[in-house]
Every structure is written in C-alpha cells, then in structure tokens.
C-alpha cells in the first residue's frame, strides 16, 4: 500500500517523487488529487492508467500563482481574471484556451486547459518546490467515490502509487466548481461550493452572462452520467417525501449543507465499508451549495 507522509519532509519526498516521474497522492481543500508533473507526459499517462480513466477526459492543472496561469493559457478574458481575483486561491477551476506548449495528454486532446489555484497550503508548497504545475484529478479509481483523506487514497490505489501526502481531512469535501471560458457565454460544467449565483454576480459586473446548461462531449471531470459512485445502491428522495420503512439506512443531506458536503464522500464510503447494499438519500433543495450535492448524489445513484 502507498506510504503516507506528512509535514515538510513529506512535501520534500513528494516533490522528489514527482521529479522522478512518479504519480502521488496530493491534498487539496476539495478532495485529494493524483498528481503528476505537467512537463512529464509519461507521468501524465500514468495518471490515466492508475485511475482507469479514458484518455479523452481532461485533467485539471493545479498552479501556485497567477504567473503559472499565464504560462499555461492564452487570451484569458478580463471577466475571467476578475472572477479569479476574487475566488483564487480556492475551489474554482476555469477552462481557458491552452498555450501551444501545454501537453495535449493533459487536455484530453483539446486546445483548452482546466486550471485551478488550490487553497490548501501543502498543495501550494508542493507546486512551488517542484517549480511547475501539477495535473491532479481525484485520487481514486475512475467513476468511484472521491477521496477526502490520505487513508482513502492509500486504500483505493494500493501499490499503484508509492506516496500520499497527508494534509488532513478535506475542508470543502466536494470537487471544485468548473466554469468554461473557452465558450461564449461561459458555462458552468460542474457545480461546487462556489455557487452559480456567486459566479454570476461577479461576472455581471463585467457585462458577462453565465450559462448553466452544459452540453456536448465531456470537457471537464465529473460530466459523465454516473460518477462518484459507491457499490451501494442509492435511492434518492426529496426533503419532505415519505421515506420507506424497509430497514435500509437513511442518509440526510438536506440540513447544514457545508457539513453535508464536507462529509459526503466519507458517508458514501462507509456504506461500502459496512457492505450495505441499499441506502435512502434525502436530497437538499436545489439552491446554492445544494446544487453541488444534488449533482454528486444524482450521479452516484445513476445507472443502478
């Protein structure tokens, strides 16, 4: 199983592993990532192999400062920059036009690149010490429940990676909001803890509309119909609906949404750890952070 490391020495060990071309577990405030040096295409390909992820699905590139954004991207709009000035560092990813030198392995063959500046201090330390951005999708098998602790990563990926940097439990607990600025008007491709209402309000000051109806092939992580899924079958219910009395556990996500998001994946993993085949889930209302929770739970329940 992967070795869990921590502190300054752990950061150094992880950076040395990245320089060797390894992939490593990497903490952010949203979920743990499976990181590789963006300059090493063999390491980027290793991410897809370890996760079992289709190579057409773009990877999010994590950076430590705005200079790295401008090295990766071309033609970043004033509205996009205004949004980032308010929301970075933080749980927001933007899709922008990629500079010619950015690996198309990382972008899933597209001429756009997804970029985020994480707020987690250890993530920033790794990127700064490495001297380059890292590509880092969630550190789990493709389509399964995302990891929010170092132990989740080590248990999921086993001997397929050597190191996981322990940054503690993830403070946010759901993946970043994704806004695609490579299209006009910009589109939200994935809801997150930075809500559509907040993003729309910022962009409106710069005369930019926001679309929430993404369409077409996957342009970002989490756009598949089934994703974030435990082995357990989830049956979804709206708040206030009568709930079955069948002995199956009931998971409520309709109160204290910040706490619900922080513990979402932990609670789904617990179902599988206890070999529970079926659970009922009470959804939050579709507003604010509730959109992100409904998105993850709907995809976790799809197809079964």
pLDDT tens per residue, range 29-59: 999 999 999 999 999 999 999 999 999 999 9
Distant-in-sequence, close-in-space partners of 35: CB < 8 Å, separation ≥ 6 = 14, 18, 23, 24, 25, 26, 62, 126, 134, 135, 136
CA–CA separation, 20 and 56 (whole Å) = 25
Tokens for 80, please give them: 């996009």
pLDDT tens profile 190-238: 999 999 999 999 999 989 999 876 555 555 565 566 788 999 999 999 9
For range 16-38, the mean pLDDT: 98
Query: What's the longest Cα–Cα distance across the chain?
Result: 58
pLDDT tens profile 71-82: 999 999 999 999
CA–CA separation, 173 and 262 (whole Å) = 4
Q: CB-hemisphere CA count at 13 Å for 37?
A: 17
- What architecture (CATH level 2) is domain 3-204? Alpha-Beta Complex (3.90)
> Strands of 60-62's sheet, edge to edge?
3-5, 163-165, 24-26, 33-37, 134-135, 60-62, 112-116, 92-97, 177-180, 187-190
Domain boundaries, the chain: 3-204, 233-301
CA–CA separation, 30 and 10 (whole Å) = 20
Report in angstroms the alpha-carbon separations of 139 from 53, 89, 116, 171. 11, 20, 16, 16
pLDDT tens profile 152-194: 999 999 999 999 999 999 999 999 999 999 999 999 999 999 9
pLDDT of residue 1: 83
**Chain centroid, CA 220 distance in Å:** 10
Neighbours of 174 (CB within 10 A): 27
Instruction: Look over the chain and give the mean of its residue pLDDT values, rounded to a whole number.
Output: 94
| % of the chain exceeding 70 in pLDDT | 95
pLDDT of residue 223: 57
Residues forming beta bridges with residue 250, ordered by sequence position = 280
pLDDT of residue 97: 98
Pairing verdict, β 33-37 and 134-135: antiparallel
Residues 217 and 171: beta-carbon distance below 8 Å: no
């Amino acid at each position: 199983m992967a070795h869990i490391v921590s502190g300054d020495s752990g950061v150094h060990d992880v950076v040395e592993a990245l320089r060797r071309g390894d992939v490593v577990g990497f903490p952010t405030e949203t979920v743990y990532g499976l990181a590789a040096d963006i300059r090493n295409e063999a390491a980027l390909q290793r991410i897809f192999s370890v996760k079992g992820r289709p190579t057409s699905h773009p990877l999010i590139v994590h950076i430590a400062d705005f200079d790295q954004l401008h090295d990766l991207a071309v033609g970043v709009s004033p509205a996009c920059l205004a949004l980032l000035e308010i929301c970075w560092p933080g749980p927001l990813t933007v899709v922008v036009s990629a500079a010619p030198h950015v690996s198309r392995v990382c972008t899933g063959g597209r001429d756009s690149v997804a970029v985020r500046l994480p707020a987690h201090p250890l993530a920033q330390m790794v990127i700064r010490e490495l001297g380059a951005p890292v590509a880092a999708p969630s550190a789990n098998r493709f389509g399964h429940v995302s990891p929010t602790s170092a132990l989740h990563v080590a248990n999921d990926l086993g001997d397929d990676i050597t190191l996981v940097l322990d940054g503690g439990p993830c403070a946010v607990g759901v993946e970043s909001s994704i806004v695609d600025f490579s299209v006009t008007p910009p589109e939200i491709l994935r809801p997150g803890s930075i809500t559509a209402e907040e993003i729309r309000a910022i962009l409106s000051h710069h005369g930019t509309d926001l679309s929430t109806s993404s369409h077409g092939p996957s342009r970002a992580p989490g756009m598949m119909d089934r994703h974030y899924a435990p082995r357990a079958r989830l049956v979804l219910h709206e708040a206030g609906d009568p709930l079955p009395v069948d002995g199956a556990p009931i998971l409520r996500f309709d109160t204290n949404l910040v706490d619900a998001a922080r513990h979402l994946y932990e609670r789904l993993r617990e179902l599988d750890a206890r070999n529970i085949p079926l659970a009922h889930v009470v959804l939050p209302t579709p507003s604010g952070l509730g959109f992100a929770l409904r998105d993850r739970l709907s995809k976790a329940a799809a197809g079964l």
